[in-house]
Amino acid sequence: MSDTTPPFDPSSTSGQDDPIQPIALQEEMENSFLDYAMSVIMSRALPDVRDGLKPVHRRIVWDMEQQGFRPDRPFVKCARVTGHTMGTYHPHGDSAIYDALVRMAQPFSLRHTLIDFHGNYGSPDFGPAASRYTECRLDPLAMQLLADIDEDTVNMRPNYDGSNEEPEVLPSRFPNLLVNGSQGIAVGMATNIPPHNLGEVIDATVHLLDNPDATSDDLMEFVKGPDFPTGAYIRGRAGIIDAYRTGRGSVKMRAKATIEEGRNGRYEILVTELPYQTSCSAIAKRIQELVDSGDLSGIADVNDGSAGGKTSLVITLKRDANPNVVLNNLYKQTQLQSSFSINMVALVDG
């Protein structure tokens, strides 16, 4: 059977009442991809500058408030929160909603958590327990994002099916975007904002309110730099200054490590704080690979003793190893020293 469909003629006016209209492929791709790109940018990947939240996080917090899952109420199953948020406000995959919920409870991801969690929220090395086992409720700080929302402080809009209303943005009594940061990859753009110290950001905000003409250099007197939840050291200020002045920069982070004399006269390198978004297991694996390949010498054993939210990576050296040389090589060849690329992009009047 042959295809007898006539070639598409853009000048033809026939079939205008037909629900299916022929259209040039290039035109359709251009229009549809633009719609898709704007949807990802506005509704999925980038935070709003006013409350520092992406739509999925905002909808979770709003839904939990509407359901009464406040700090003074009992914990509820995360599966219940995830399902209700998906069915009422966020018609996307339940696993993505649960991942967003858990991240707001992880003290190694957020500088100040927004969800009070009961159960295993995971670690930098492992994921959380299934939503049917874990429980949650709003953290007291999250209530500051919602404060006075019942006083017509923000605009409301219909949810995806018109059955309920949701806020366009949360009132937010503190600059959550700077306090907890944000990461996301949209279409043609991305954001990577580091977390900061709450007290420093509040002091800078008060100064800016009192002095509207204050410059970024003036505000840097209050906010000295990022404040990562995993600790570690920040080396140098050049990248921080570039980021605060231009919105882009790179911050070099170095693990907190001490050299101690262990048993049998061998030195040990004890790592107690790691750069942000790194993990003990990945670093230990990398060290073992370097030792096996002969690219790193002087190391006898690596033991990851991290537990209960405490980092403990013990690197035992050989008897003839110079601990300072080994430590410098570790900084050079592993994620014990890494960089955080700052890219401050957020939605304004979104």
Per-residue pLDDT of 258-293, as tens digits, reads 999 977 889 999 999 999 999 999 999 999 999 999
| 216 HSE (CA, 13 A, CB side) | 9
User: What is the C-alpha to C-alpha distance for residues 167 and 308, in angstroms, rounded to an integer?
Assistant: 37
Question: Residue 254: helix, strand or coil by DSSP?
Answer: strand
Q: Which pLDDT score, from 0 to 100, does residue 173 have?
A: 96
Q: CB–CB of 291/264 below 8 Å?
A: no
Phi and psi of 274, rounded to 5°? Answer: -115, 155
**Per-residue tokens: 280:** 């003990």
Q: Which pLDDT score, from 0 to 100, does residue 32 have?
A: 85
Q: Which pLDDT score, from 0 to 100, does residue 74 have?
A: 98
Q: Which pLDDT score, from 0 to 100, does residue 28 have?
A: 86
* Residue (of 160, 169, 201) closest to 346 by Cα position: 169
Q: Which pLDDT score, from 0 to 100, does residue 339 have?
A: 97
**Per-residue tokens: 141:** 């700080």
Per-residue CA distances from 9 to 26, 27, 30, 219 (Å) = 14, 14, 19, 61
The catalytic position among 89, 133, 244, 276 is 133
Active site residue 331: no
Q: Which pLDDT score, from 0 to 100, does residue 39 have?
A: 77
User: What is the C-alpha to C-alpha distance for residues 122 and 223, in angstroms, rounded to an integer?
Assistant: 30
- Give the chain's length: 350
Q: Which pLDDT score, from 0 to 100, does residue 167 have?
A: 97
Q: Which pLDDT score, from 0 to 100, does residue 131 have?
A: 98
Which residue has tokens 């996301």? 184
Enter the pTM of the model: 0.88
| Spans of the chain below 70 pLDDT | 1-18, 350
Domains of the chain: 44-177 (3.90.199.10), 256-340 (3.30.1360.40)
**Per-residue tokens: 179:** 């306090």
Contacts of 191 (CB under 8 A, 6+ apart): 45, 46, 47, 182, 183, 184, 343, 344, 345, 346
